[in-house]
Amino acid sequence: MLGYLLDGHNLSPLFDTSVKPISFAEDPYEHVPDNGSIVYSIWDKDDNFIYIGFGGTNQLPEKRDPRKIISSHASGMRMLDVFCMLVFDYFVVASLVTEGAYEPKKFELNRRTKDFIRSNLSYRFLSFKTDDSNEIVVNLVDKIRDGELGISPKLNRRGPWIQDN
């Protein structure tokens, strides 16, 4: 999947399935830059595009650290992270139903969400390091969610074409 241009930005690295994505089991501090802003795409093991997001959007360029959002996603903490809640709703609940039994324990659902994310999901990102990078990434993600590239993420797409399959 190459040739994804939006607002003059080449977004192909987010969608190039010939490039191995980074597993959430890996430390984002070894892969993601410590400053600037990023757009990231999240993929399952079958190369299905499931989520698009952004990080490093503080108003002050010197305070932008895009690693924080990737770390948050990898944590599995549902009450702190919308992505983790979506993963829980769409994937973890399905596995609980399939298992047929669940013994409630404190933070067990967060642990299962974290395990699912780290075992089954990975990401690709594109970095932006301009004074307005925070605005650029938000606008790009909005347009991708709206389907302007002809491909939409499963978990956070927008618009009238939303269907829960």
Listed by start position, the domains of the chain span: 5-145
- Burial (CB < 10 A; 0-12, 13-18, 19+), residue 30, is exposed
Q: Which residues pair with 22 in a beta bridge?
A: 123
Hey, is 50 helix, strand or coil?
Answer: strand
138 and 57 Cβ atoms separated by less than 8 Å: yes
Per-residue pLDDT tens for 36-75? 999 999 999 999 999 999 999 999 999 999 999 999 999 9
Q: What confidence score (pLDDT) does residue 1 get?
A: 47
**Distance from the Cα of residue 139 to its chain's centroid:** 16
Cβ atoms within 10 A of the Cβ of 123, count?
A: 23
Q: Is the pLDDT assigned to residue 114 strictly greater than 50?
A: yes
The pair of structure tokens assigned to 122 is 């990975």
Helix axes 67-75, 108-120, angle to 10 degrees: 120
CA distance 68 to 152: 24
Question: For residue 165, what pLDDT band results from cuts at 50, 70 and 90?
Answer: very low
